[in-house]
Structure 1
């Protein structure tokens, strides 16, 4: 037999001790809590005393994903993080309860503040410093869904100690370099670049007024674990830099900037990407403050050399970063810079043409298929400050769109002042360099210094992106012009302002600009803001409005009624609104809401209560329905007594009957008067546009709405138990591939269940409207208007007969 060398070899005592120490320090522990150091004859602290706790249960906020929640102020270390940094696999999950850690006589962990490979392997027994950073904006172990996160917090108690210093934010795995943020009057704000998965972070505070601040071993530390999950369930916001076909791909900048960082396409991409990260961080924090979760849009990404920090650029580290598409349009630089296209030129006759040029170029680049929306924010790189005319050419600040493209455009005239990385954010928003109008623009005379120009450029472009997402102008916030203080969301001190002639000072959360509450509610229902934890998005986003007995109005929505906006006569902005449920999307969804005129008027200021009321009602899924005159809807004009004595109620109008040339026409169904009469068929007369609809009964009688025209014989649909037919105005019935003209698309589910109609505006955007009634309602009347001067627009009203009894809701899928 082979000799057993291990049994015949005598190991020196000091080697046995070293071997035991190595095992107890680095050997992976079993998940059942067995202390492997006991089997080696020593405890987990590396000394001869009895262990106070099993080694496998050592934990802290550094590895808080494996344990219970701990406030961010706790000063702690975890052996599992040292193991991770040294290439050793971390221990398996530990129990939720955290046993107390007793003081140890060993001096192995006396250096409590050290980070990196030399940090202690076990949780320190030293109590946390009262000057350890306290993160107020987010809790430990929170899940977030964006690349860059904004956080804020305090040092000690700002009311009693106004400390100045520096905050260092570092990752325990060293995948990203540390970043440094100023602390002003014990307040700090920071941006954190996140990687998918757990992000274990350390926050160190240093100040010349505190002990140990001038050493490499800061003791004022706290820890935070954040989990990042990319929200791949939502359509992305696409970032595009648009160039003329002969563009040199440069942007306006002063000579010193050009010498320092360049003004070429690569620099533009880095700056635009960083601006989008700031939009994302700002919006997520605003949604959270509005109690709507850390909900934010995502951006398409690509695998490239990282640009968000200096180290990635120097080392060529590859990362998944927001993709910036570079698109060339069909126009030349001279054509784009034509003064007749400049939005800020009061004499421009084509001031909105840049939007169409950008839309055409973007559509040609992305080539969206029918039904696929693209959300695109465009930077016009060929914008140029024309000193002779004192005009920014090649620039327009616009947002909106429809059909397959939702678009925002903005010029690059302030791009030189944007940060290109996280390290540059605070310097960019603190740079008081005067704007040199020999080279660059002072936009709206609100960009007298570099930091103010960055506010205008980044903030105004975010404003237009808000329009892209469907936000109108608001009474305050980003969708007014509050973005001129965007810097306050990322810095704690504001420099001297040339705009306000104020010296600035400390800026806290209450001083920051914000998305208006109504903007946040819109984002909540927008598909771009969907989160992986959301339930499946309802296919029916429509809202229906019904008049019922007693002058009440019933609002129904299959996805739920979210909120309504109340406008009085002359209002351009919404000042009064009503939210349903708990207002935050967490309470019970209300699929039916009853409104009374008295209640609505009671929400208005006393001097506006007798004014005309207009409502804009929003569904949980993002649908919208407008009631132009609520009093008219509840008046006698909305009631009709039929020849058999029954009472019929008009619903809210759908479509565009207000257009010039529209002619009103009504058809009361015979089946509504005679209960025994059965409608069996619907014949649609159409060609390029809808001409008429004929309703045919089983006794061979019929009623014609409109006229017979178009294709001979029209298209016939027999009504069975569950028959659906489509009417597409503007194209043949069967053509669902592409609709190059304005159109109205109707879908009807018969047998007293639901009628669903789609109509589009001039910008080719689709609006889906659903009219729903239950078995105690019958379709009693079809009325509407149409005009065919240039395009055919059809306007329908649904009449219902009978007693209002609501049992359930029907959402009709797109067949």
Structure 2
């Protein structure tokens, strides 16, 4: 719906001049799902007449304007972060430049363009929760230089504002990356609550209330001194308990959210009591870790770079262009890559995003955020880059799309089918069956089946730490996102994707479904070997009343083959034995399978197949309690 309530989008005023900003990153009438989006564009023909200037973004949402924001133009290119309210947003981009003054001593003339963007918040996907974790006796402050403390403070309120803004940069960056990979501007969402707005400094100063991202403040049962124990410090080579901060945070957060069995939370956690221990030369109460179990997916990171973060949209460009030298008398130079304030912001915001990538299921990759490419994160939000102490080189005058940091394609594929990224237009899928099956069949072929569809397959070479090759099964038409439920691939097809000197290497596969589940084939050649193909007994007639004896056991048809499924269970307990069965209904033509009994206690003990004649076959053991599932007699099994 348009702002006026009609079914069509409001017709916008045409650009006022050839120098009106041309938006290149998003089209008029687009639908987005993030409160803040990245918008980029250019002025006139940059190659013909490059010029510097300023873009002022004016917002109008049902008469409630978001404060105007200003963004630099460099050589006729610009980038801006735009705040949106739910529904249609009318956005005006005003360009001014001293080179385009209406008179020699008059004010610069204004050149305007307009677009409409529909912000549709997501409420059905699970949110990424934000948590600030403190020690039980923490004063609620973070490391900062004296000048920073004097100018803006370093209390809990400022920490919340900076962490919230950093999270929105993660979201805007991810949404833009998803769009560039043809998946729309989908991204993880946040929980919101009615509170004083902080994403605009003007809202914060005037006390304007808005629905903005909630940040949970959680105190753990450890003191600050206990959290800052050098044995917990991840960057301390002599630390004996490097992973314990993750457990401490996880236990505390699980209690805070009161996670019930079968529930799941996704949480990005900022440890506020991180501290640069100058004497020890390490950051205490800090660990960069992401992952978790079935109930809690967690990404933790320290607050040691928090002073360099922007606390609102207006501070994004100043934060990412601040060349103030890092004063290691008060704050850390993390990994010796944070020699200036803007580089510290890159490392802090970007490295925490890296851990969020782990939280969402991404491993390390060959390029992108998951390979520390976040040292260029600033280029997504700023058109110009300052001098870098890390590379000892002047920054880029124009940061174009190809110069930016990015998510790897394999990260994007994981996110596309992740529950946190679902949108209302996505195809519903059966959440009761997330299984993936595969069978090695004749001719070096592999059949893969998944009720929610086969999304992509990662191909890994033995000994390689990273995945460099994969195959996708996505429909090229974004309007038809249905995945194939069965695919057949050949070993030759898989090996053709490998470099010439690796074609004979041992290959493993990671198969991903449309429900974000996966299964692994450790050795493709072993699965396709002859030992997984068995000759089935000929079809026979089962004995029955009135059947003549000379008909019993009579065979029909040609030789038949069966293909072994993947192993069910991975028990290594004493007494465990591998077991295989061939269902009698596959051998006897008139033997009817009526039901399946599942025997289970704390784990699955066995599966029993029950036939019409009263006989049964037991796969495993009959321990624990039993549940019986009747089958449709009209269907063959």
Fold agreement, TM-score > 0.5: yes
Q: Of 525, 534, 541, which aligns to 2:417?
A: 525
TM-fit CA distance, 1:219: 3.0
Match of 2:570 among 646, 650, 656: 656
Q: Distance in 1 between matches of 2:4 and 2:626?
A: 70
- Of 157, 161, 164, the residue aligned with 2:49 is 161
1:382 — aligned with what? 273
Q: What residue number does 1:85 align with?
A: none
Change (3 A) 1:300 1:678: same
Q: Which runs of 5+ in 2 are unaligned?
A: 539-558
* DSSP 3-state at the match of 2:393: coil
Asked if 1 retains the 8 angstrom alpha-carbon contact of 2:21 and 2:112, the reply is: yes
Change in Cα spacing, 1:517 to 1:586, as seen in structure 2 (3 Å) is farther
Counterpart check, 1:318 vs 2:209: yes
Matches within 5 A, 1:2-13: none
Q: Report SS of the residue matched to 1:257.
A: helix
Q: CA deviation at 1:664?
A: 2.3
Q: Determine the C-alpha separation between the residues in 2 that align with 1:273 and 1:96.
A: 32
Q: 1:717/1:377 Cα in 2 relative to 1: closer, same or farther (>3 Å)?
A: closer
Q: Which string of whole-angstrom CA distances, capped at 9 and with x for unpartnered residues, describes residues 412-461 of structure 1?
A: 00000000010100000001111111111111110011000000000000
Matched position secondary structure for 1:365? helix
Describe the shift of the 1:638–1:145 C-alpha distance in structure 2 as closer, same or farther (beyond 3 A).
Answer: same
The structure-2 alpha-carbon separation of the partners of 1:374 and 1:265, relative to structure 1 and needing over 3 Å to count, comes to same
Q: Aligned partners of 1:267, 1:398: CA distance in 2, in Å?
A: 24
Give the equivalent residue in structure 2 for 1:793: none
Alpha-carbon displacement from aligned partner over 1:226-258 (angstroms, at most 9, x marks no partner): 111111121111000011111111111111111
Query: Match for residue 551 of structure 1?
Result: 444
Aligned partner of 2:294 among 403, 409, 415: 403
Pair 1:145 & 2:38 matched: no
Match of 2:630 in 1: 720
Structure 2 contact 278–329 (Cα < 8 Å) conserved: yes
Instruction: Report the Cα distance in structure 2 between the residues aligned to 1:752 and 1:607, rounded to whole angstroms.
Output: 53
Q: 1:434 to 1:666 in 2, by over 3 A?
A: same
Aligned to 2:197: 306
Find the residue that maps to 1:578 and give its secondary structure: strand
Give 1:698 deviation, angstroms: 5.6
In the superposition, relative to structure 1, how do residues 186 and 518 fare at CA in structure 2: closer, same or farther (>3 Å)? same
In 2, Cα distance between equivalents of 1:571 and 1:465 = 24
Aligned match of 1:177? 67
Once the two structures are TM-superposed, the CA of residue 263 in structure 1 deviates from its matched residue by 0.6
State how many pairs are aligned. Answer: 611
1:582 aligned to 2:475?
yes
- The reply on whether 1:483 has 2:374 as its aligned counterpart is yes
Post-superposition offset of 1:370: 2.3
Q: Structure 2 CA distance, aligned partners of 1:183 and 1:516?
A: 29
Query: Structure 1: how far apart are the matches of 2:411 and 2:476?
Result: 13
Partner Cα separation in structure 2 for residue 475 and residue 96 of structure 1: 42
- Separation in structure 1 between the aligned mates of residue 451 and residue 263 of structure 2, nearest angstrom: 23
CA distance in 2, matches of 1:194, 1:408: 27
Of 483, 492, 511, the residue aligned with 1:598 is: 492
Q: Please, which of 191, 194, 200 is the counterpart of residue 84 of structure 2?
A: 194
| Residue 358 in structure 1 maps to residue 249 in structure 2 | yes
CA contact (8 A) 1:677 1:698 kept: yes
Greater relative contact order (Cα < 8 A, sep 6+): 2
Q: Does 2:288 align with 1:414? A: no
* Maintained 8 Å contact 2:101/2:108: no
Question: Looking at CA atoms only, which structure, 1 or 2, has the larger radius of gyration?
Answer: 1
- Give the RMSD, CA atoms, in angstroms: 2.6
Q: 1:298 to 1:708 in 2, by over 3 A?
A: closer
CA distance in 2, matches of 1:260, 1:681: 73
- Displacement, 1:128? 2.8
Question: 1 CA distance for matches of 2:601 and 2:66?
Answer: 63
- The 1:91–1:295 alpha-carbon spacing in structure 2 relative to 1, beyond 3 Å, is closer
- What does residue 799 of structure 1 align with? none
Contact 1:287 1:293 in 2 (8 A): yes
Shift of 1:581: 3.4
TM-score (norm 1): 0.71
Rounded to whole Å, the distance in 2 between the matches of 1:695 and 1:387 is 67
